[in-house]
Amino acid sequence: MPVITCIDDLKRIYKRRAPRMFYDYAESGSWTEQTFRENVSDFDQIRLRQRVAVDMSGRSTATQMIGQNVAMPVALAPVGLTGMQCADGEIKAARAAEKFGVPFTLSTMSINSIEDVAEATTKPFWFQLYTMKDTDFVSRLIQRAKDAKCSALVITLDLQILGQRHKDLKNGLSAPPKLTPATVANLMTKWRWGIGMLGAKRRHFGNIVGHAEGVTDAANLGAWTAEQFDPTLDWGKIARIKEEWGGPVILKGILDAEDAKMALQVGADAIIVSNHGGRQLDGAISSIKALPSILDAVGDQVEVHLDSGIRSGQDILKAMAMGAKGTYIGRAFVYGLGAMGEQGVSTALEVLHKELDLSMALCGRRRIDELDRSVLMVPEDFAGRWQ
């Protein structure tokens, strides 16, 4: 059993064990990957203020996100094709999240279906919705999420059209994988993954195949998804979906203060400052740099969450001290899952928790609600003066 001390350890094992096509799918950003890189490197610009001789006993990372108790302010972000990183990946990740006491968000583009995850867990999870042209299908998805007792709907706004990741095109990414000679050669070296997949409950998109008109198998799925994302999505449609859902709504993919104000107007319960992990608009600013202006605009009226670039508990601490009320991890849990399945996701959460807890202590803070900007040393022009 390897000694895991940080998220990077999990990433190294994940790289060895997962098929190249799926590793590349997770570990890339759009076009030049500038935004993907800066999501991580911009966190490094912020420093923590060390304090000493403060009673550190009785610490807790527990808090709430949208009124729900969480063991630490971290949710698992929706990640498409999670069940291709590891057999039954969504079920395993959801179970690890449940055991740890943090929310799991199931992607519309998951391999395990809403019903699969509901059956394998005992507490409500969150469902992420991509709006599609087929409104009947969207309504059925919403109903299925309600039937499964999902406790929040996360509507993703930054993927009306798909950003381009060069590696996915070159690898011919698909679920199940396209069997080109190169893919077969690579898969032969991934025996652990292959054995797992042989016994997997599903190998293509569980929320779609058999549920969307005309999609009966993976062959016609590709064409369906390519033309299904809704380029006409607007705030009116978002308001209608919120009404149809009737429960807590989190709007994901806000990077601009003006959009944050619109999200407020449609009555979002929370917004996620996010650039989709650098997978959509390459050249957009990092989420952590976008956070201050969005907090200034709406922070006192709506819960502001953040994702993109979180790889450590120190990053979580920085986002929370800046003023976020919760964070999400995408790749950080995928690394764990691809490395060691459910145990790997648990390990990722434990690593982040330990880093968050110790960093809080060394900053002289014992509770999440004691975190504020005085914990941080932020470069003067951190958010930048963009014209």
Ligand X SMILES: Cc1cc2nc3c(=O)[nH]c(=O)nc-3n(C[C@H](O)[C@H](O)[C@H](O)COP(=O)(O)O)c2cc1C
Segment 373-381 long-range contacts (CB within 8 Å, at least 24 positions apart): 373/321, 373/322, 373/323, 374/49, 375/48, 375/49, 375/317, 375/321, 376/46, 376/47, 376/48, 376/49, 376/318, 376/321, 376/322, 377/46, 377/47, 377/48, 377/49, 378/45, 378/46, 378/322, 379/45, 379/46
Q: Does the annotation list 160 as a binding residue?
A: no
**Closest CA relative to residue 346, chosen from 40, 147, 93:** 93
* CB nearer ligand X, residue 107 or residue 228: 107
By CB under 6 A, which span of 160-168, 259-267, 302-310, 369-377 interacts with ligand X?
A: 302-310
80 is annotated as contributing to ligand binding? yes
Among 89, 309, 313, 344, binds ligand X (CB under 6 A): 309
Residue 83 near ligand X by CB under 6 A: no
Provide the β-strand partners of residue 63: 70
Cβ closest to ligand X, residue 118 vs residue 130: 130
Residue 51 Cβ, how far from ligand X at the closest point, in Å? Answer: 28
Q: How far apart are CA 113 and CA 83, in angstroms?
A: 10
Q: Which of 26, 212, 238, 319 binds ligand X (CB under 6 A)?
A: 26
- Here's the x/- map for ligand X, 113-152, by CB under 6 A: it reads as ---------------x------------------------
User: What proportions of the chain, in percent to the nearest 5, are helix, strand and coil?
Assistant: 45, 10, 40
156 binds ligand X (CB under 6 A): yes
Stretch that binds ligand X, among 92-100, 173-181, 325-333, 357-365 (CB under 6 A): 325-333
The per-type count for the chain, helices as H runs and strands as E runs, is: 16, 12
Is 279 among the annotated ligand-binding positions? Answer: yes
| Closer residue to ligand X in complex, CB, 255/321 | 255
CB neighbour list of residue 19: distance below 8 Å, 6 or more residues apart: 177, 183, 186, 187, 190, 193
33 phi/psi in degrees, rounded to 5: 70, 20
Q: Is 276 a catalytic residue?
A: yes
User: How far is Cα 248 from Cα 126, in angstroms, rounded to an integer?
Assistant: 10
Single-letter amino acid, residue 54: V
Catalytic residue among 166, 204, 211, 276: 276
Least distance from C-beta 276 to ligand X, angstroms? Answer: 5
Q: Among residues 308, 312, 347, 359, which is the contact residue for ligand X, using CB under 6 A?
A: 308
For residues 74 and 365, which CB has a smaller minimum distance to ligand X in the complex? Answer: 74
Q: Does 79 bind ligand X (CB under 6 A)?
A: yes
Q: Choose, by CB under 6 A, the member of 23, 25, 104, 125 that binds ligand X.
A: 25
Under rule CB under 6 A, residue 314 binds ligand X:
no
373 is in an annotated binding site: no
Of residues 82, 92, 336, 331, the one with CA closest to residue 203 = 82
Residues that bind ligand X (CB under 6 A): 25-26, 39, 77-80, 107, 109, 128, 156, 252, 274, 276-277, 279, 307-310, 329-332
